[in-house]
Amino acid sequence: MLDLAIVGGGPAGASAAVYARRFEMKTALLFREPGGLISTAHLVENWPGIPSISGFELGEKLLKHARGVGAEEIFAEVSAIEKEAGGTFLLRAAGGKEIRARAVLLASGTFPRKLGVPGEAELLGKGVSYCATCDGPFFKGKRVAVIGGSDSCCNEAEFLADLAEKVFLIYRREELRAEPANRARVEKNPKIEMILSATPRAILGKEKVEGFRFERAGKEEDLKVDGVFVAIGREPMTGLLDGVEVEFSERGEVLVDEKKMTKTPGLFAAGDVVPGIKQAIIAAASGVEAVFGAREWLRKSN
């Protein structure tokens, strides 16, 4: 029986684990992807005290810290969280694994939002990807399209520009919505060509990606590419909450009180899965806030 089960291995979960162990709580991190979403970032340049670091390295450092203070790591994809009759929580994971805890912190993060155009689902893994750092090496010397206009999208385009022959950054608006520094780097990169005011229509190809179709100024255009990287935002990962009572925002985020507790007593949430600015440093802070809330709740429930 754990005092606190933390679902997620990103900045929110790892930071929470460090504080939970400082409070001498029996704690475990349950995750499928070490480091969470931040580990897929090409570069992180806004983490205080570290001017520049790869996302993978930052994710590793966060988990190493949690591991060093005694947090257990359980490599498992949690599929359901249930509240038991006695008040404890049962977490069900792949392979029939079951974990029990007195309190739970959901720091599961998000999953990629889909374009919803023809060819996307059919060509997934055949040139369609949602992670440049994961799949970029397969496109060395090739032509790729990156769809989106955010900071993460710009980072994806920059990473791919180091590998691919040509990168097309396609966005539906007239101007990228990324931070000025990220936007400037993309604009100066000779291997990146921006195609703005372009609405995605289809991903082309039969056995693999062969092109990308978009509409601009009322006309459809086909672009020859070998890969399509979709970076149009992410959705909160909340499907595992069907067995507990929680409330959601209009965006599907988990609603919590000032102590990061959900409508179900003992169930807390933090990071990108709750409303707020989606930044790693803020996720880390909210994870710590949740642990303070969990500590107080556990003391009162004894």
Length, in residues, of the chain: 302
For residue 126 the two structure tokens come to 């055949």
Query: Strand locations in the chain, DSSP E?
Result: 2-7, 27-31, 72-75, 78-83, 89-93, 98-106, 110-112, 128-129, 143-147, 166-170, 192-195, 199-204, 211-216, 219-224, 227-230, 234-236, 267-269
Say which residues have a Cβ less than 8 Å from residue 74's Cβ, sequence separation at least 6: 28, 29, 30, 31, 93, 97, 99
Choose, from 134, 162, 222, 257, the residue flagged as catalytic.
134
285: left (phi over 0), alpha (psi -120 to 50) or beta: alpha
Identify whether 131 is a catalytic site residue: yes
Cα 208 to chain centroid, rounded: 26
Identify whether 135 is a catalytic site residue: yes
Residue pair 102/3 in contact (Cβ under 8 Å)? The answer is yes
Rg (the chain; Cα; Å): 21
Return d(Cα 155, Cα 189) in angstroms, integer. Answer: 12
Name the strand (E) or helix (H) holding 71: none
Identify whether 153 is a catalytic site residue: no
Please give the angle made by the CA atoms of 66, 69 and 75, to the nearest 5 degrees: 45
The catalytic site residues sit at: 131, 134-135
